[in-house]
Amino acid sequence: MEFKGKKALITGAGKGIGRAVAISLAKEGVDLGLVSRTESDLQELAIFIQDSYGTKVSFATADISNREDVEAAYAKLKADLGFIDILINNAGVASFGTVTDMPPAEWERIIQINLFGTYYMTYAVLPDMIAQNSGTIINVASTAGERGFATGSAYCASKFAVMGFTESVLQEVRKHNIRVTALTPSTVNTNLAVSAGLKIGDEDHMMQPEDVAELAMATLRLPERVFIKSAGIWTTNPQ
């Protein structure tokens, strides 16, 4: 893919992986549409990117578990930027507990954000990609979408669902020259991981958001005639 002149929409852009991907794309001259629940994070990032790289940045606050929020955010970003070439479905949450200990409302919240948020934004963006006969979608899943673990029923269910959703969509839209990829990182040193109580380890040895951004950029750089269906990334030697 030739990056110059492209437009990208990133959910969960205010922190962690989303922020790292936004900066990596900006370095390549990509104009950005940023979505997050926290306006201050988006404002700070937009100013940093515009001052550092000079690319155009638009942002919209949205709760991606709310379909009306998603549709309004996409309408704003599309009006500001035009056709979206790249969609990065990154926004997500995590918390852990046994099936009987986790309140049903929390279980439902995780599914609503991680799965339905990915679906809602894809549903909003995809018709325009189909009309343009081009586009790339990257869904940030997890190794938790490949294997379950105790206390992870909600999170794993949401990420397994994202993996299935990704594969189904890619089979539908390949004929429209649209590439769809799932990224499956293991634990990443982010605020999400810390707030969920995951073991982060030594920062020099633990996977960083910038590492996942590198993987996303590598998949995007491929010629548009090919795509990677899924790509995993692991910490080499966590300590």
Active site residues: 155
Q: How far apart are CA 94 and CA 117, in angstroms?
A: 14
Q: How far apart are CA 76 and CA 181, in angstroms?
A: 25
Listing from the earlier edge strand, what are the strands of the sheet with 178-185? 57-61, 31-36, 7-11, 86-89, 135-140, 178-185, 230-233
CB 82 within 8 A of CB 58: no
Q: How far apart are the first and last CA of the chain?
A: 36
Q: How far apart are CA 15 and CA 189, in angstroms?
A: 11
Q: How far apart are CA 208 and CA 193, in angstroms?
A: 11
From residue 27, give the alpha-carbon distance in Å to each of 34, 72, 125: 15, 27, 24
**φ, ψ for residue 7, nearest 5 deg:** -120, 135
How many other C-beta atoms lie within 10 A of the C-beta of residue 191?
Answer: 11
